[in-house]
Chain A
Amino acid sequence: MTKEEFLKGFQEQFDDTDVTQISFDTKFRELEEWSSMMALIIIAFIDEKYSKTLSGEDFKNCNTVEDLFQLLNNK
């Protein structure tokens, strides 16, 4: 998994957010479109694309897109 692919995939999960608003430093919970459902959508994306599972606890410990990427890479 390349870092850029992950970012692009992450951005594609959002319908109403401009991709320029989402970078590795973005605190995804601060995005206007973020909701508890978005968390499930991101988890389904990671499950489908990378066959990896992020638990609720894992997710809680991530604030930025970079955090998510690093966590995945270490799984």
Chain B
Amino acid sequence: MALIEVQNVQIRGISACVPKKKVSTVELDFFTNKDAEIFIQNTGIVERYISEGDICASDLCLQAAEKILTELAWQKDEIDILIFVSQSSDYILPATSNLLQSRLGLSQNCYCLDISLGCSGYIYGLSLVSNLLQNSKFNKGLLLVGDTISTYTSKFDKSVYPLFGDAGTATAIEYEKHSNANWIFDIGSDGTGSDAIKIKAGGSRFRTNKNSFDLEYIDINDPSQGRRSSADLILNGIDVFNFAIKKAPNSIFNILKYVSKATDDIDYFFLHQANLFMNETIRKKLKVDKDKLPNSIQNFGNTNGASIPLTIVHTFNNFIQKNDFSVMLCGFGVGLSWGSVLLDLNKSLKTNMSYYHG
């Protein structure tokens, strides 16, 4: 069990941006109406927003960042930290955070770093930004988490293509000397499960070549499963499911045990949004009511690392918050990697939701 504690930090605002292009599950041509109905019932996914053309995760994050900076009236030269968490970077190199520093017009003294993590990335990003704020002279940090994973899925892979949506998010975090904030993190990694979610070609282990994009049958003995290329996302649903329904509750219980609290003491649980059935299974293990564990997968699909901040924005955007909320956030998936954090969301938290306007 790895635990990190951070004090003197507060989330001031969270914003999310999705592409305009909406795809409904019932419109998918490889689904009959009955298939679509069953798929929606199990995964929860009714619709999602996907990136078209050359819209990158960084573009979505850029808009989300601009919106939250305006909302908070933060000046650009005040931003000390910019962390970009994504597995759909603009380039192999340079790092996208460097590009975003310049595109956002931030100071050259800004601490910029890319983190390559998916579903658990928001938690890792929070742990890094909060630690930097606590242990440096930095005051304001931006955590940008976004992905356009839909663009890495094969349209002919029925088990993967309908799952993923795209989104970019921005979380504004500030150092606060006299705060009673106490963030508690539990994090973990298990690389033995690295094959469970993978894009094989395109890195330096398997460079892309002229055959990388050839479509091949997923299972030669069962053509109905569809086709994908070595540059498309592979997802082994069973292994990911087994991992998630064990690690997510364990990680949350680790934190609760550490702070001597029960699930009843927590106002909201925000889980990574991969599959509604998976989150329902985890919710039953946590023994919490449905209204304490909001989901957004119905409207956005699985947006990888962006899913937790997107769900927070989706939940609180049209909602007058009267009190501070204690929230437990938990991300789990590709790596395999997981992380949870217990923190308070202040009643003055600003949220913003927008559609990408390019």
Residues of A within 8 A of B (CB): 33, 35-37, 39-41, 43-44, 47-48, 53-56, 59
- CB within 8 Å for A37 and B239 given contacts A44-B245, A47-B245: no
- Checking B43, B196, B238, B275 against A39 with a beta-carbon cut-off of 8 angstroms, the contacting residue is B238
Closest to B43 in A: A37
Bound form: Cα–Cα A37–B236 in Å? 12
If A35-B38, A53-B242, A55-B242 touch, whether A40 touches B236 (CB-CB below 8 Å) is no
Which residues from chain A contact B238 at a C-beta distance below 8 Å? 39-40, 43, 54-56, 59
B-side interface residues, number (CB < 8 Å): 19
In whole Å, how far is B212's beta carbon from the nearest beta carbon of chain A? Answer: 25
Q: Residue of B at shortest CB range from A41?
A: B277
Q: A37-B38, A48-B281 are in contact. List 9 more A-B contacts (CB 8 A).
A: A35-B38, A36-B159, A37-B39, A37-B277, A40-B237, A43-B242, A47-B245, A56-B237, A56-B238
Secondary structure at the B interface, as helix, strand, loop or mixed, is: helix
* 17 A-B pairs whose Cβ atoms sit less than 8 Å apart in the complex: A33-B38, A36-B159, A37-B38, A37-B39, A37-B277, A40-B42, A40-B237, A40-B277, A41-B42, A43-B241, A44-B241, A44-B245, A47-B245, A47-B281, A48-B281, A56-B236, A56-B239
A-B pair number, CB within 8 angstroms: 46
CB nearest to A37 among chain B residues: B42
* Minimum distance in angstroms from A32 CB to a CB of chain B: 10
Collect the chain A residues with CB atoms within 8 Å of residue B199's CB. none
- Chain B nearest CB from A37 CB (Å) reads 4
